[in-house]
Amino acid sequence: MHYNDWELRRFLNAIVPVSKEEEEDWIRSTWEERRKGTSYVFAIEVNRSKLLVGGCALTGVSITNRSASFGIALYNKTYWNKGYGTEATQLMLSYGFNQLNLYRIHLTVFEFNERARHVYEKVGFTQVGLHRQALFRNGRYWDIYIMDFLAKEYRKRYPQQEKL
């Protein structure tokens, strides 16, 4: 299980390893959340080969506020730094803004996760806040950055993605 690799989990809010059964239970729970319209979880695969390399999601979907939280993880380190995270993030933004009609997509990212911060800034997220010294990892405290992307910013940055 790649998910239990510490190098991956240190970037997530998952410091305790999980069993195969716990992962399967979590996957099943996402089906119910999708039916309710509160969460949309997708696999990240390599070029239609069906090789699972990660997952991404829009969670905590609020129809009233037209907002959701974005999260992503590439479980297979072989595929880090190859553009899969950027592409998946862009696809999820398009899905959120164009299909779900969201107005705001937000996320949090740990201070030391420079690779993720770079991707988020590259696709258009803006840092809007900070949880100071909110995360303890490897013997020290780290900040957690709060970032978001608004639909009007998305439309300006990606005009070719306008709704049909």
Any idea which residues carry the catalytic annotation? 120
Parallel, antiparallel, or unpaired: how do β-strands 67-74 and 104-110 relate? parallel
Residue 80: both structure tokens together = 């880090």
Q: Calculate ∠ Cα 33-102-72, nearest 5°.
A: 60
3-state helix, strand, coil in the chain (%, to 5): 40, 35, 25
- For residues 144 and 108, the answer to whether their CB atoms sit within 8 Å is yes
The span from the CA of 127 to the CA of 145, in Å, is 7
According to DSSP, residue 30 is labeled: H
Could you give the CA distance from residue 50 to residue 62 in angstroms, rounded to a whole number?
31
